[in-house]
Amino acid sequence: MKIQHTISPAAAPLKIRDILQGLRGLAKPEECRNNIEQELKDYFNVKHVFLVSSGKAALTIILQALKSLSHIKRQVLIPSYTCFSVPSAIVKAGLDVALCDIDAGHYDYNYQLLHDAVNIDTLCVLSGNLFGIPSDVSRIVDICKGKGIYVVEDAAQAMGCKYKDRMIGTIADVGFYSLGRGKSITCGSGGIIVTNSDGIASAITNIYRQLDEPQFREDMGELLQAILLAIFIRPSLYWFPAGLPFLKLGETFFYRDFPVKRLSGMKAGMLRNWKKRLEEYDKKRKENASYYCSALKPLILSEMTAANASLRLPVIANSREMRDKIISCLSKRGLGVSRMYPTPISMIEEIRGNFTGKTYPAAQMLSDRLFTLPIHPLVTEREIRTICEYLCETAASAELICGRNHRVVMRVSKS
């Protein structure tokens, strides 16, 4: 364990006053939930909102609802490179994972492949929106139109982001957001389901009514976790949890099981100022992403913009060895540069037998070569400048691709 200023790869800071609002939620859970639900309806311009225990729980409930409406179809089609929580939720819902490879330059589906990937057994297709970079959801809807296939927006990493002036998560049949500790905003953990479909909302309501409330001891445990998160997410203290191997921070897991419950009143209370926090943090992420663009401008050979807020700025090195060298060197300096998901979904041990003989080369390339730069509100301009200086001075020739239409080609000297 090394005591030093250490940046988390992603963060949505919780303030002590947010946690104190959680105590109010303990006293009036239903009132707090109802207030937040109405605020979310107004902000996202949707008819139906459900607050649940996690993003995984939100997706599980959505899939169970769609399964009840379809009865026959069982396949859920998802990108070959995405968060492992997505297939976890599919399996939890009693459905089958189906994959389509992606376009690594856009972090979205390869749409030529997507046309062929949907079939008569496809229940729904999930949009990706990885890092908050919008998927072409209109194109997904067009592919699914007339085939009895639902479109679910995985907006776990894209709360507050827009696609063609519309909020991601509200465009297709149903969408969900995550309130986990590394997402756009957080209350420790939680999930939000949004839809304008009365039929889907009715099916979700049937499930939601049967969900348990978190018990008081669970609330107390999560309140303690929220307090620790608010304290130790700060760069001056993050070295401590980052240095504890048993916490497994930054590791990716396929969850064999997880709770599916309502969001606690305590956590709903912590969301009292959610809109202000969301807009403030997204603004800061955009500013930080723009600073990276500006700092790297002398080395940019094609135009790069930072039009979309995202949780991290994704970058692709020209080799796995280069990626690992960059991460190793910058991690030792506590600069929050990190890899993302370690394998394609097809290589997850618990489900890999379903994909024997199938390959997903774009997903494999991202698994091998992708790393991310921190852009959250706790990163300073000085730290961003240090990261950029390192990339320019010590990385060997590397190609860096940063989001949809955010392409940077860098050629720099060896250390």
Strands 338-339 and 75-79: unpaired
pLDDT at 401: 52
pLDDT at 278 over 50: yes
In this predicted structure, which of 170-184, 282-296, 323-337, 355-369 has the lowest mean pLDDT?
A: 282-296
- Compute CA 89 distance to the chain's CA centroid, rounded to the nearest angstrom: 14
163 falls within a domain: yes
pLDDT digits (tens, 9 = 90+) for 35-72: 999 999 999 999 999 999 999 999 999 999 999 999 89
8 Å CB contact between 281 and 374: no
pLDDT at 396: 41
| Nearest Cα to Cα of residue 92 among 255, 312, 275 | 255
pLDDT at 224 over 80: yes
259 falls within a domain: no
pLDDT at 228: 94
Residues 64, 160, single domain; the answer is: yes
| Domain range enclosing 160 | 16-208
pLDDT at 226 over 80: yes
pLDDT at 413: 32
Q: Which of 183, 208, 233 is the last residue of a domain?
A: 208
Residues 78, 191, single domain; the answer is: yes
Torsion of CA 42, 49, 216, 256, to 10 degrees: -140
pTM of the full structure = 0.93
pLDDT at 322: 87
Query: Which CATH number is 72's domain given?
Result: 3.40.640.10
Residues 195, 315, single domain; the answer is: no
pLDDT at 415 over 60: no
8 falls within a domain: no
pLDDT at 399 over 70: no
Rounded average pLDDT over 168-193: 96
| Nearest Cα to Cα of residue 128 among 341, 365, 339, 376 | 341
Joined together, the tokens standing for residue 336 give 């929050």
pLDDT at 310: 76
Residues 298, 406, single domain; the answer is: yes
What is the total count of domains within the chain?
2
Provide the β-strand partners of residue 151. Answer: 125
Joined together, the tokens standing for residue 24 give 């109010």
Alpha helices for 358-410 (secondary structure H)? 361-369, 381-393
pLDDT at 317: 84
pLDDT at 315 over 90: no
Query: Which CATH number is 315's domain given?
Result: 3.90.1150.10
Residues 297, 389, single domain; the answer is: yes
pLDDT at 343 over 60: yes
Distant-in-sequence, close-in-space partners of 383: CB < 8 Å, separation ≥ 6: 7, 335, 336, 374
What is the dihedral sign for C-alpha 275, 278, 279, 281?
Answer: positive
Residues 169, 308, single domain; the answer is: no
pLDDT at 346 over 50: yes
Strands 102-103 and 108-109: antiparallel
State the pLDDT confidence band at 230, using cuts at 50, 70 and 90. Answer: very high
Measure the CA–CA gap between 411 and 256, rounded to whole angstroms.
Answer: 43
State the pLDDT confidence band at 313, using cuts at 50, 70 and 90. Answer: confident
What DSSP state is assigned to residue 71? S
Residues 202, 278, single domain; the answer is: no
pLDDT at 248: 86
